[in-house]
C-alpha cells in the first residue's frame, strides 16, 4: 500500500476502548469444549457462488449430524422459497434427531419473523436467532443516521413478536430457544451493546433453567484477537443475569485471526461457538470449527465432535459446496501431514519408529512436527512424507519401509537418498512411492552388469566342518564362466570364487537381511556394503529373491557391479 493511502485508515483503539484493566483471560486455559453450532447451511451457504440446492443441503445436514453437532443453523427460511422448503422437508420427513436443535436466522422485521415461524411449524426443538445491526457505522449508513434508541426499539419490537410466536409454538409442542445478536458487536460501543442485549433479555425473561443465547458476532474483524477477548470478558462481567444466558461467539476472518479470536474469546468466558467446516463464509470466511475442535483434541480435550474420517468430510464438503480445502489448510489439507524437508523427514521417521516401540507403555503422542496423529483423522502414514529434490535420506527410507516393506540399513540412507533426490531434481517434480521404488531398483537391486549370477550350487565340506564349497555359473563382461570358491557360508564362498578370478577389489563391510511381506511366498531382501580397497569408497547393493541365500548373493553382486563404475 502506498503511504498516501494509509492515511485513510484509523487504528481501532482510537474509535473504541475497552474499560478492562484487570483482565483475567490471559491467565486462563481452555479445559473444556464449548457448545458448538454449525452455520454451514446458512452463513456458509449464502457465501457460495452457487448456493446448495435442497439435496445438497440435506446431504450436508446429515454429515453435520454424523459429526456430532447438536445445534445446526439450517437457513434463513424467510429469505427464499428454497430455504423455506428445506426446513419444511427436515421437519416433515423426520430428518432432525431428537437431540438436535435446528436454528434459523431472522432479521428483526415483522413479516420475516412470521414467515420464519411458519417454516418451523411442527418442529420438536429449535433456536430462533434474531438480529439487527447496532454499530455506529451501520446506524450511520444502513439505517440513515438512526439513533441508538431507534436501533434498540427495532430489537425490542422484534423480540416481543418472537416471544409471542414462540409461546404459540410451544403450546403446540415445540421447544423454542431464543437467541439474539447485536450484529457487528465487535465494532459497537461495548456499553451500548450490553444495553441493547439487556433490553432483549427484559422481553424474553430467561432463567437459569431456561437460558437464552446472546451471540456476540465479530461480523467483520477490525482488530487483534486480544481486543476481542477484552470485549467478551467485559461483556460477560458486566451484563446483568449472566447466569441466565449462554454467551456465544461468531467470528469472521477478515484479518486471518478468526481462530485465535475464538480461542481467546473462550478464555474470556464465552460458552458457545458458531462456525463452519473449514471456515467457509463471507469474504475471508467464518470461524473454522474443524480447526478449533482439533486444536482442543490435540490438547486432550473431548469436543463431542467426530473428525476421525476427515477425508470423507472433506469430500462431502467439497462436492456440496463446490469449494476446495486448501492443500495447507490446518488438519484437512492434503499437504499438512507431508514433509518435504530432509531434516523434518528424518525427525518424523525417528519419532514414528520410537512410537511403534513404545506406544503401549507410553501412549502420549510425541512425534516431531506432527501435533496430532494423522491416523486419528482417518489419514494414513503413507502420505506423511513425500519426496522431491529437497527431501532427505530419512524420508526416502521411510517411503521404502512403509510403502514397499524394504528396511534399508541406516548407513545406506544417505546413498539412496542422494540418488532419489538427484532423479527428482532431474525430472523437476515430486516422485511418488512407485517412482521411488523404480529408482531404487534401477540403481541398487539385482544388478547384472558387468557380473550376473546364474545357477548356484552349495556343497558342505565333510572334511572341514562348517565350511562350504560353491560352484556358480556367471556371466562377466559378456563371457560365460563357471567359478568355484570355499568359505564358512554361501556369501563368503562366493567372495572366495570372485577372488580366485582376480576380480576382488573390495572388502565386505556390512550385511543385513529381512523378509518382505508375510507368508511362505514372500520375498527376502538382503543388503551388502562393500568398500573399494583402492579409494575407500563404500557402496551398498540390494538383492531380492524368494530365497534368503540367493537374495544375499544377489546383493553382493549388485554391490560389486556398482563398485565397478568409477566416479567421474
Give the residues across from 523 on adjacent strands: 516
Overall residue count recorded for the chain in this entry: 568
Helix, strand, coil abundance in the chain, percent, nearest 5: 45, 20, 35
d(CA 329, CA 259): 13
d(CA 107, CA 155): 9
Pick left, alpha or beta for residue 57 (phi over 0 → left; psi -120 to 50 → alpha; otherwise beta). Answer: alpha
Non-local (6+) Cβ contacts of 517 within 8 A are 405, 523
534 in Cβ contact with 525 (< 8 Å): no
As a whole number of angstroms, the longest Cα–Cα distance in the chain is 112
Sheet holding 538-545, edge to edge: 506-516, 523-532, 538-545
Surface-to-core class of residue 462, CB atoms within 10 Å of its CB (0-12 exposed, 13-18 middle, 19+ buried): exposed
Question: Does the CA dihedral 141-147-153-156 come out positive or negative?
Answer: positive
Q: Alpha helices of 359-489 — where are they, by DSSP H?
A: 393-404, 413-427, 433-444
Count Cα neighbours of 131 within 13 Å in the Cβ-side half-sphere. Answer: 19
48 in Cβ contact with 220 (< 8 Å): no
Q: Nearest Cα to 316, choosing from 307, 305, 303, 328?
A: 307
Sheet holding 479-487, edge to edge: 451-460, 468-476, 479-487
Backbone angles phi and psi of 400, in degrees to 5 = -60, -35
Known binding positions for Mg(2+) = 43, 250, 252, 286
131 in Cβ contact with 183 (< 8 Å): yes
Q: Nearest Cα to 215, choosing from 239, 409, 414?
A: 239
Beta strand extents in 448-537 (DSSP E only): 451-460, 468-476, 479-487, 506-516, 523-532
- Residue whose C-alpha cell reads 432463567 in the numeric block: 207
Known binding positions = 43, 250, 252, 286
Amino acid at each position: 500500500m502506498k503511504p498516501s493511502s494509509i492515511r485513510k485508515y484509523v487504528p481501532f483503539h482510537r474509535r473504541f476502548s475497552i474499560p478492562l484493566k484487570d483482565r483475567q483471560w490471559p491467565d486462563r486455559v481452555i479445559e473444556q469444549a464449548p457448545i458448538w453450532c454449525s452455520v454451514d447451511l446458512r452463513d456458509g451457504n449464502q457465501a457460495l457462488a452457487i448456493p446448495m440446492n435442497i439435496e445438497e443441503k440435506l446431504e450436508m445436514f446429515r454429515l453435520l449430524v454424523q459429526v456430532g453437532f447438536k445445534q445446526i443453523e439450517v437457513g434463513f427460511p424467510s429469505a427464499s422459497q428454497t430455504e423455506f422448503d428445506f426446513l419444511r422437508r427436515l421437519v416433515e420427513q423426520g430428518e432432525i434427531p431428537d437431540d438436535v436443535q435446528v436454528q434459523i436466522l431472522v432479521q428483526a422485521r415483522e413479516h420475516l419473523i412470521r414467515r420464519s415461524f411458519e417454516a418451523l411449524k411442527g418442529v420438536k426443538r429449535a433456536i430462533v436467532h434474531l438480529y439487527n445491526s447496532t454499530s455506529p457505522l451501520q446506524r450511520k449508513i444502513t439505517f440513515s443516521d438512526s439513533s441508538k434508541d431507534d436501533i434498540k426499539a427495532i430489537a425490542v419490537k422484534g423480540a416481543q413478536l418472537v416471544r409471542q410466536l414462540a409461546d404459540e409454538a410451544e403450546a403446540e409442542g415445540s421447544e423454542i430457544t431464543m437467541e439474539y445478536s447485536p450484529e457487528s458487536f465487535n465494532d459497537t460501543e461495548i456499553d451500548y451493546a450490553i444495553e441493547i442485549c439487556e433490553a432483549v433479555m427484559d422481553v424474553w425473561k430467561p432463567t437459569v433453567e431456561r437460558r437464552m443465547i446472546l451471540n456476540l458476532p465479530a461480523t467483520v474483524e477490525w482488530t487483534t484477537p486480544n481486543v476481542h477477548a477484552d470485549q467478551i470478558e467485559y461483556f460477560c462481567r458486566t451484563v446483568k443475569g449472566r447466569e441466565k444466558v449462554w454467551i456465544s461467539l461468531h467470528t469472521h476472518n477478515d484479518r486471518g485471526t478468526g481462530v485465535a479470536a475464538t480461542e481467546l474469546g473462550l478464555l474470556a468466558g464465552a460458552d458457545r461457538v458458531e462456525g463452519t467446516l473449514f471456515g467457509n463464509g463471507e469474504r475471508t470466511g467464518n470461524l473454522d470449527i474443524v480447526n478449533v475442535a482439533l486444536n482442543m483434541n490435540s490438547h486432550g480435550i473431548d469436543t463431542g465432535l467426530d473428525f476421525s474420517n476427515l477425508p470423507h468430510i472433506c469430500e462431502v464438503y467439497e462436492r456440496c459446496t463446490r469449494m476446495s480445502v486448501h492443500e495447507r489448510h490446518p488438519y484437512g489439507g492434503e499437504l499438512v501431514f507431508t514433509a518435504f524437508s530432509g531434516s523434518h523427514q528424518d525427525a518424523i521417521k525417528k519419532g514414528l519408529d520410537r512410537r511403534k516401540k513404545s506406544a503401549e507403555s507410553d501412549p502420549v503422542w510425541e512425534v516431531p512436527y506432527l501435533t496430532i496423529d494423522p491416523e486419528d483423522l482417518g489419514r494414513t502414514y503413507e502420505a506423511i512424507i513425500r519426496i522431491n529434490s529437497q527431501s532427505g535420506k530419512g524420508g526416502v527410507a521411510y517411503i521404502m519401509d512403509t510403502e514397499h516393506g524394504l528396511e534399508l540399513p541406516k548407513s545406506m540412507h544417505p546413498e539412496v537418498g542422494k540418488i532419489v533426490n538427484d532423479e527428482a531434481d532431474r525430472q523437476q517434480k515430486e516422485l511418488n512411492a512407485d517412482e521411488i521404488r523404480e529408482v531404487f531398483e534401477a540403481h541398487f537391486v539385482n544388478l547384472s552388469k558387468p557380473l550376473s549370477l546364474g545357477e548356484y550350487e552349495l556343497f558342505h565340506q565333510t572334511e572341514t566342518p562348517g565350511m562350504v564349497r560353491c560352484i556358480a555359473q556367471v556371466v562377466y563382461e559378456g563371457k560365460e564362466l563357471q567359478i568355484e570358491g570355499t568359505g564358512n557360508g554361501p556369501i563368503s564362498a562366493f567372495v572366495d570364487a570372485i577372488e580366485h578370478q582376480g576380480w576382488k577389489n573390495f572388502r565386505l563391510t556390512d550385511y543385513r537381511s529381512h523378509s518382505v511381506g508375510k507368508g511362505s511366498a514372500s520375498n527376502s531382501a538382503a543388503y551388502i556394503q562393500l568398500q573399494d580397497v583402492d579409494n575407500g569408497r563404500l557402496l551398498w547393493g540390494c538383492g531380492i529373491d524368494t530365497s534368503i541365500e540367493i537374495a544375499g548373493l544377489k546383493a553382493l553382486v549388485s554391490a560389486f557391479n556398482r563398485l565397478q563404475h568409477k566416479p567421474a
